[in-house]
Structure 1
Amino acid sequence: MALADLSDWMDDHSGDGFVWYVKRLSGNDTLANGAHQAGPYIARDFLFRMFPAIDRTDVKNPDTRFDLYIDSHADYREVRAVYYNNRFHENPDGGRNEARLTNFGGASSALLDPDSTGALTVFAFALDDAGAATGAHVWVCRHGTEEDIVEDRIGPVEPGRYVIWPPGATGGTLSLFTPPAQTSCWIAAADMPPAWLAKFPTGAEIVERAVELRPLPGLVPDQRLLKRRDCEFEIFRSVEEAIELPHITAGFANVEDFIARAQTILQRRKARSGRSLELHARAIFLEERLAEGTQFSHQPESESGKRPDFLFPSQTAYADSAFPADQLRMLAVKTTCRDRWRQILNEADRIPSKHLLTLQEGISESQFNEMSGAGVQLVIPAALTEKFPKSVQPHLQTLESFIGDVRLLRQG
């Protein structure tokens, strides 16, 4: 299908008769890491809402079947929605207590294809009058341009999180919900700095507050990064609610005002998503006693018009042609990397091996081989490595390990 068809598809599968569940496929969803989970994970409460018949514990692993069309890949399956409730039966201490969609037919399905790992995916459930699902249409984004089209409609969707777009959300912006991270970092409006309520705080200010709330001095950098980012996301949403909810509840005089407000919210969310990980990385470098300017440079210019996220040991060392190239490092930061990793290849010409910090939850072996062949070294928070294929895991570098390596670089 052409890109215009994706826009038409979103229009055709939205409105009062549909609810969307949008996520990025992880290595546990597809067959990328060999976990054999049999299908994409769907939040249990959401699947209970769609299929009330499986919301029970008196029967082991209750299920139901429905028609599912993967319209992006012209595929049809009779899919099984199942609630794995072993915890309430033979294994109360450690049994499964999760919901999944199964019966896709293996790797021939775009939803289980290892190369779909990381893909932004829209599940559009058709609803009956009672609000239960009668079937579903799915779009698995095939490249970054399609992902941009979806996120232009609903806002950013990050790895490990999902977005629900409920019925009646024409325009899909102010009615969009992302479940909070539940880190106890929510700030009541009365406790916010007055300046935040007058003007939305910058990303750096919110990250700074997350660091204050979660100093976590006893944790390694990988753990600090993930916990703080969850905290920062919750702070961001609390400020967003404090500022925007009064406007939403007051209503709008016309559609143009609604759209303008919605676009402001969307753009702010995109800006936060694009810079958050980078700002957290900088904060951790400083905490790990890397001196900015001599041991790392943030947003330096490597060549005219090229600005990698980080250079090590410094922009000055990079600009010195006498400084050994093998003592230089570049770190790019991208929340997802499925297609976007190629964007870093022409940054920092003196450094052939590019390090890339990402939160993407897995890639396929073929994707990894392509990245490695292009000189890209993935830096992955340690807790996420299990979502990658076992053959790939030994070749991943943790953030803690990367920091240890750059400490040993000669300083300019």
Structure 2
Amino acid sequence: MALTDLVGWMDEYGVPGAVWFAKRLAANDTLATGAHGAGPYIPKEFLFSVFPDLNHPEEENPDCWFDLYIDSHADRRRIRAIWYNNRLRGGTRNEARLTNFGGGRSALLDPDSTGALAVFAFLPHGPGRQMECHVWVCDQGAEADLLEERIGPVEPKAPVVWQPGEIARDLFMHTDAGPGSCRLLPGEIPPAWLTRFPTGEEIIRETVKRRQRNGLEPDRLLMRRRECEFEIFLSVEEAVYLPRIRQGFSAIGDFLSLAQTILQSRKTRSGTSLELHVREIMTEEGLLADTSFTYRPVIENGKRPDFLFPSKAAYDNPAFPAERLRMLAAKTTCKDRWRQVLNEADRIATKHLLTLQEGVSEGQFREMSEAGVRLVVPAELHRSYPASVRPHLVTFENFIGDVRPLSAIQGP
């Protein structure tokens, strides 16, 4: 569909009282891994808030039915929301899912939708009216970009709940800090951060203090630090912006300006966070900047890959063997963005792409491989990929091991 259709959809269903749930579809949501009982996973706490009748622990696997319209693909279904709760009775499951989509004919279960941004808009309902839900599954990156302009970045494992017109609830619906959390208490936030929002590098430094290596392998360390850094970011965001929101606004323009500032801050963080973590961990692993790797170099025709190995100097030296060069792009999702790396370094045939996306379809992976893209995926996410794809994934630790010896020779 045209982007104008999506704009109209956002305006129609972005009404007060509506609740949006946005997530990146994992392979376990779709049929990409061949899982039984496929259907989008949605946190049960959210489903309980939308369907209170679902929250009946005394019943085994309580459920409810509602109408769901996948407007992006002209599809209507009668959907079942179910809480699989047999763990309360000695079983293993305690999760909520939406089911009855009709298999791979649904855009939500199509394996090629893995990694796509999907937005569920639950509409308000009054006495005697049933809940209904309208869904948009993004087919292209431009659609995801447009939606994220409205609700902020949506990353793997980090769904977004958005309630149109309620900025404080939209932006600061965070859970309380639990044991081991990196959430900062008000007294732990540096005073300077309250007047000038910290840079990504400053938040990364605080993250490293709280999540030191302690013998963790690079893959696990990357995932733990990403979680920690996001909690720190949310703590600072709430401390800086929530008092301003509570003061109220004298003009709509002031309200919109602050909302845009917050969303832009989130976009900036999302755009650089992963590569900053990768740079920090590679340095801790003994790789030297501008000797073992170069971060964001400018090469031919103004191209700027995230990382070059062993260095920009080696890349610029035509006598340096091309087979000893590597490049790495760092992108949280790869469904639509993997093509961006194809032309980032002309001398390097195989492009390595580090992603946190929870799976790709076999078709997507085949297309990437044929184009010369090799996926680098943290080890704990490998099980999210189809069994046929897993043997071809590279762990972050193995990638570091591959590039480590490249700097031994910086000339022909």
Query: Shorter-chain TM-score: which interval?
Result: over 0.9
Query: What residue number does 2:6 align with?
Result: 6
Residues 1:342 and 2:339 aligned together: yes
Quick one: structure 1 residues 133 and 376, their matched pair in 2 at CA, closer, same or farther if it must change by over 3 Å? Answer: farther
Q: Which residue of 1 aligns with 2:149?
A: 152
1:227 aligns with 2:217: no
Task: Give the AA of the match of 1:13.
Answer: Y
Structure 1 residues 18 and 137, CA gap change in structure 2 (3 angstroms): same
Deviates more, 1:72-81 or 1:54-63: 54-63
Percent sequence identity over aligned pairs: 60
**Match in the other structure for 2:81:** 81
- 1:225 and 1:305 mapped to 2: Cα distance? 29
Which stretch has the larger CA shift, 139-148 or 51-60? 51-60
Cα separation, 2, equivalents of 1:74 and 1:87: 37
Amino acid at match of 2:207: A
1:382 paired residue number: 379
Residue 28 of structure 1 corresponds to: 28
The one-letter code matched in structure 1 to 2:25 is L
| SS of aligned partner of 2:300 | coil
1:105 and 2:108 correspond:
no
Per-residue CA deviations over 1:183-237 (Å, capped at 9, x if unaligned) read: 5111123222221112111001101110111003211000000000110001111
> Which residue in the other structure is 2:181 paired with?
184
Against the structure 1 CA distance between its residues 305 and 167, is the aligned structure 2 distance closer, same or farther, given a 3 Å change threshold? closer
- Opposite residue 164 of structure 1, the aligned amino acid is V
Q: 1:219 to 1:249 in 2, by over 3 A?
A: same
Counterpart position of 2:134: 137
Amino acid aligned to 2:44 = R
CA shift, 1:254, in A, is: 0.3
Matched residues in 2 for 1:379 and 1:56: separation?
A: 42
* 1:154-233 matched pairs, under 5 angstroms: 154-166=151-163, 168-169=165-166, 175-177=170-172, 179=174, 184-233=181-230
Structure 1 residues 126, 223: CA separation in 2 closer, same or farther (over 3 Å shift)? same
Asked whether the equivalents of residues 38 and 99 of structure 2 are also in contact (C-alpha less than 8 Å), the reply is: yes
Give the whole-Å Cα distance in 2 for the aligned partners of 1:407 and 1:370. Answer: 29
- Alpha carbons 2:305, 2:344 under 8 Å: kept: yes
CA 1:184/1:257 → structure 2, altered by over 3 Å: closer, same or farther? Answer: same
Question: Whole-Å Cα distance in 1 between the matches of residues 192 and 409 of structure 2?
Answer: 40
- Cα distance in 1 for partners of 2:226, 2:130 equals 34
Distance 2:371 2:224 in 1: 31
Normalising by structure 1, report the TM-score: 0.96
1:140-177 per-residue CA deviation (whole Å, 9 max, x = no partner) reads 011100001100001101001111112543xx687234
C-alpha distance in 1 between matches for 2:49 and 2:185: 30
Count of aligned positions: 407
Q: Structure 2 CA distance, aligned partners of 1:222 and 1:14?
A: 38
Q: Spell out the pairing of 1:248-263 with structure 2 (5 A cutoff).
A: 248-263=245-260
> Could you tell me which residue of structure 2 aligns to residue 48 of structure 1?
48
Give the match's secondary structure for 1:159: coil
What SS class does the counterpart of residue 134 from structure 2 fall into? strand
What residue in structure 2 maps to residue 278 of structure 1? 275
Mapped to 2, the partners of 1:119 and 1:133 lie a distance apart of 28
- Cα distance in 1 for partners of 2:165, 2:194 equals 29
Alignment root-mean-square deviation, CA: 1.7
Letter in 1 for 2:75: D
Match of 2:308 among 311, 323, 332: 311
User: For residues 199 and 26 of structure 1, do their structure 2 counterparts lie closer, same or farther at Cα, with a shift above 3 Å needed?
Assistant: same
Q: 1:281 to 1:237 in 2, by over 3 A?
A: same
**CA offset at residue 2 of structure 1?**
1.6
236 and 308 in structure 1: CA distance in 2 versus 1, 3 angstrom threshold:
same
**Residue matched to 1:364:** 361
Counterparts in 2 of 1:173 and 1:390: CA distance versus 1, 3 Å: farther
CA distance in structure 2 between the aligned counterparts of 1:316 and 1:69, rounded to whole angstroms:
54
Q: Could you tell me how far 1:114 is from its partner in structure 2?
A: 0.3
Q: Distance in 2 between matches of 1:307 and 1:52?
A: 50
Q: Which position in structure 1 is the counterpart of 2:409?
A: 411
SS of equivalent residue, structure 2 residue 170: coil
Which residue number corresponds to residue 58 of structure 2? 58
Q: Distance in 2 between matches of 1:178 and 1:392?
A: 36
How far apart in 2 are the matches of 1:46 and 1:374? 40
In structure 1, C-alpha distance between the alignment counterparts of 2:302 and 2:248, rounded to whole Å: 44
Q: Which residue of 1 aligns with 2:93?
A: 96
Match for 2:171: what amino acid? L
- Residue 301 of structure 2 aligns with an amino acid whose one-letter code is S
Tell me, what secondary structure is at the counterpart of 1:80? strand
8 Å CA contact 2:18–2:123 kept in 1: the answer is yes
Q: Please tell me whether the aligned partners of residues 164 and 170 of structure 2 are also in contact (alpha carbons under 8 angstroms).
A: no
What residue is the counterpart of 2:288 in the other structure? 291
Whether the 8 Å CA contact 2:327–2:345 is kept in 1: the answer is: yes
SS where residue 133 of structure 2 aligns?
strand
> Which structure 1 residue ranges, 5 or more long, are not aligned?
none
Q: Is contact 2:213–2:221 with CA below 8 Å preserved after alignment?
A: yes
SS of residue paired to 2:308: strand
Residue in 2 aligned with 1:18? 18
1:310/1:167 Cα in 2 relative to 1: closer, same or farther (>3 Å)?
closer
- Partner amino acid for 1:175? D
TM-score by length of 2: 0.96
Change (3 A) 1:411 1:197: farther
The aligned residue for residue 328 of structure 1 is: 325
> Hey, what's the Cα distance between the residues in 1 that align with 2:222 and 2:354?
11
Relative to structure 2, which stretch is displaced further, 15-24 or 124-133? 124-133
